[in-house]
Amino acid sequence: MPPKTKEKRRKAGAQQKKRNSDADMEAESRLRLVVLEKELLRDHLALRREETRRAKTSEDQVKQRLHRLEAELEGARSEGKAIYEEMKRKCEILQEDMETRNKQLEEEVKGLREQLETCQQEAEAAREEAEQAIGERDWTLAQLRAQAANMEAEYEEMLHNNLDQLMAKLRALKPQYNGPALRLRARHKEQLHQFGLNPLDL
């Protein structure tokens, strides 16, 4: 057999083995995938059964709680009705008390308004009296200020007249004292010279 034919057969055999190996690997992968999907489906079914069991348990608990709530609601309704009747009775009593109190307050308000009117009248009269008194006081102060100004002017005039008269008397008496005063001064000056003193240094 020629060498080329043998080589071709070997290559063909190797390729056939490789194809068979690839097919086996693909089949194994598919088998693993099927097994994995089966496990996942089994786990999913178990999870759904557990959820269904829990939901049934929760449903039973909810029903029991609902029954309890219905019983409590019925009791609350009865109690609420009794409370409503009691509150209604108390409201009626309170309303009567409020009406009585309102009447009392109306009477008090009426009395206070009358007192307020009286106080306003008295305050108006007092204000008028105060204004009159203030006016009289201002007039009296004006009169006193005018009198004080007149007296001050009179006293000032009298003072000036007295001073003028005093100055006139002093001027009239001055010549009488000038001669003796000059002689006394000259004598003192001479005595100072006798003691060796200068009058200008003193």
Inter-residue contact 198 to 192 (CB < 8 Å): yes
| pTM: predicted TM-score of the whole model, two decimal places | 0.31
Please provide the DSSP assignment of 146-187 as one string: HHHHHHHHHHHHHHHHHHHHHHHHHHHHHHHHHHHHHHHHHH
185 vs 94, 179, 197, CA distance in Å? 118, 10, 15
d(C-alpha 113, C-alpha 121), whole Å: 12
Q: What is the pLDDT of residues 129-182, one digit of tens each?
A: 999 999 999 999 999 999 999 998 888 888 888 877 877 776 776 665 556 666
CA atoms within 13 A on the CB side of 134: 6
The per-residue pLDDT for range 28-83, each reduced to its tens digit, is 778 888 888 888 888 888 888 888 888 788 787 888 888 888 888 888 788 878 88
Task: Calculate ∠ Cα 118-122-127, nearest 5°.
Answer: 145
**Burial class, 192, CB count within 10 angstroms (exposed 0-12 / middle 13-18 / buried 19+):** middle
